[in-house]
């Protein structure tokens, strides 16, 4: 099972982190991102979006970090990281949406500007971060983990770009519950870091 990967991508790290925590072996294929390898054949045929990560498992090809988490959890980890009852599945799905939209376009995008020079409006990214981080912190004030009161792929999805927020000029000092939760994730058996975390 191949993960087409970029070490500095938080989206790729979501997958590496979850695979490490769940003990799922992955063949990591480093992609020459600066050289545009993901925008050319053969990678662009696997993922027409021209983005990373991409997972290839036999005939199954997935292009989205959240979909890859769902796939790996459903196929290789039983119910441990992804509950399959309606309410549990939906509670996790809720955080995957938050990760794909508010976290990606808030702290995630702020980091793209500061660290990689992306031409995004920095003020908009900071405003989005300033809206979503207090909501996550308030949730974590009442819950130890994001969903189901235990570690799930919801935590793996939201963690990278929240923990990397300082690389986009977004401080986490004001969010004690987020900082506690970051600490909890770092203490999970099998945890692996990435540069900046």
Give the interface with its own copies as residue ranges (CB under 8 A).
48-49, 60, 62-68, 70-71, 74-75, 84-87, 89-91, 93-94, 96-98, 100-101, 104-105, 121, 124, 135, 138-139
Can you tell me the distance from the alpha carbon of 63 to that of 120, in angstroms, rounded to the nearest whole number? 23
* Min separation Cβ 186 and its own copies, Å: 26
| Nearest Cα residue to 182 out of 195, 169, 168, 161 | 161
Query: Considering beta carbons, is residue 65 or 152 the nearer one to its own copies?
Result: 65
Query: Considering beta carbons, is residue 63 or 115 the nearer one to its own copies?
Result: 63
Query: Considering beta carbons, is residue 139 or 179 the nearer one to its own copies?
Result: 139
Can you tell me the distance from the alpha carbon of 29 to that of 112, in angstroms, rounded to the nearest whole number? 22
* Min separation Cβ 83 and its own copies, Å: 10
Can you tell me the distance from the alpha carbon of 86 to that of 74, in angstroms, rounded to the nearest whole number? 14
Query: Considering beta carbons, is residue 34 or 87 the nearer one to its own copies?
Result: 87
* Min separation Cβ 97 and its own copies, Å: 4
* Min separation Cβ 60 and its own copies, Å: 5
Whether cis (ω within 30° of 0) applies to the bond prior to 180 is no
Query: Considering beta carbons, is residue 118 or 191 the nearer one to its own copies?
Result: 118
Q: Give the DSSP letter of residue 38.
A: G
* Min separation Cβ 195 and its own copies, Å: 24
Sheet holding 2-5, edge to edge: 27-30, 2-5, 54-57, 60-62
Can you tell me the distance from the alpha carbon of 180 to that of 138, in angstroms, rounded to the nearest whole number? 12
Helix (H, G, I), strand (E, B) or coil at 2: strand
């Amino acid at each position: 099972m191949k993960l087409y990967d970029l070490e500095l991508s938080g989206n790729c790290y979501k997958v590496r982190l979850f695979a490490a925590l769940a003990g799922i072996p992955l063949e990591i294929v480093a992609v020459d991102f600066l050289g545009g390898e993901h925008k050319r054949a053969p990678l662009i045929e696997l993922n027409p979006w021209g983005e990373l990560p991409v997972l290839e498992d036999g005939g199954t090809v997935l292009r989205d970090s959240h979909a890859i988490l769902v796939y790996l959890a459903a196929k290789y980890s039983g119910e441990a990281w992804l509950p399959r009852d309606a309410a549990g599945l939906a509670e996790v799905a809720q955080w995957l949406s938050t990760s794909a939209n508010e976290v990606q376009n808030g702290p995630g995008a702020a980091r793209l500007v500061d660290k990689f020079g992306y031409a995004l409006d920095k003020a908009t990214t900071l405003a989005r971060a300033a809206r979503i981080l207090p909501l996550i912190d308030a949730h974590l004030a009442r819950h130890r983990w994001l969903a189901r009161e235990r570690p799930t792929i919801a935590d793996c999805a939201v963690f990278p770009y929240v923990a990397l927020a300082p690389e986009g000029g977004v401080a986490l000092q004001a969010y004690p519950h987020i900082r506690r939760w970051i600490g909890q994730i770092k203490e999970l058996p099998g945890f692996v870091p990435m540069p900046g975390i």
